[in-house]
Structure 1
């Protein structure tokens, strides 16, 4: 059953503890592997949207949230942060990064 389109949302591991500390009792369950991957993908979209709406002061915090989800997605795929960085570096070496601010508008 794919619940990612239904109710609830994936939250950070300590959120239930924080909710309890605020005097409420959270209702939670642990997602199976398929639902977890679906919810991580949903969470990535959510965090990217929050980054896109953030002002410059809040943007670094939102980027950190995006990075946390990326690390979780990579781990779910069996790739650790070091391996992910190696893949990123390989692509940057082969195709470049984005530091030069190049905008492509087509070919002649």
Structure 2
């Protein structure tokens, strides 16, 4: 039995409303867009995996497959295409029948040598502008300081825009914290509008859809450090 997420809702199978109605239970459902439902399914994939790891039941494996097939469909892959990719990878790299694991040779060597001496390395402390990456994306110029390797708990970037961020998106793992250095604008979070100006701090929790408009200079901190795998495009915005 699956539980509700922290968002207070969950993706369900198509016949669940009929089953609930026949049982006389009160319930509410809402049909959402494909991009929104894709996000819910990818959350459910983690939930179903956790349930299988706890129960080890075939039913939970079947639930995983059902979610995977629908995710593939929403991303433009048919079951046949998915199976074709699986067979191609199997032909190139084999399956998992031999029960092989790849050993970390550094760990193996360390076990043979005994405990290592204390490391004298010190994490990087100063990140200079000339070593940052500068990109422009959806109307926002960004200077990205690649701090993740030294600070996985948070990352920082500087942003400038005359009009705003022309994309609504969501990040499933990181909170986004903005400090407004100059200018003013509007943040639209889950379709609610919030006016901001110089000196304000904006906090967008992980899992919330958002975009913003305005003439702004700002610092953005992501915690934990931003990881592209967990960011999802919702829609382009016409500013």
What is the CA–CA distance in structure 2 between the aligned matches of 1:14 and 1:77, rounded to whole Å? 23
Write out aligned runs for 1:88-103 (5 A): 88-103=86-101
Shift in Å, 1:80: 1.0
Q: Which has the higher strand share?
A: 2
Deviations 1:58-103 (A, max 9, x none): x211100000000000110111111100000111111111111001
What is the CA–CA distance in structure 2 between the aligned matches of 1:5 and 1:95, rounded to whole Å? 39
Q: Relative CO higher for 1 or 2, CA cutoff 8 Å, sep ≥ 6?
A: 1
Write out aligned runs for 1:29-108 (5 A): 29-55=30-56, 59-107=57-105
Report what 1:13 is aligned to.
14
Show structure 1 runs of 5+ residues with no match: none
Equivalent position SS for 1:25: coil
What is the CA–CA distance in structure 2 between the aligned matches of 1:43 and 1:106, rounded to whole Å? 32
Deviations 1:4-51 (A, max 9, x none): 762210000000100000012320101222210110100100110010
Report what 1:23 is aligned to.
24
Show structure 2 runs of 5+ residues with no match: 107-239
User: Which one has a bigger Cα radius of gyration?
Assistant: 2
Equivalent position SS for 1:104: coil
Q: How many residues align?
A: 102
Equivalent position SS for 1:30: coil
What is the CA–CA distance in structure 2 between the aligned matches of 1:81 and 1:33, rounded to whole Å? 18
> TM-score, normalization: structure 1?
0.87
> TM-score, normalization: structure 2?
0.41
Q: Which has the higher helix share?
A: 1
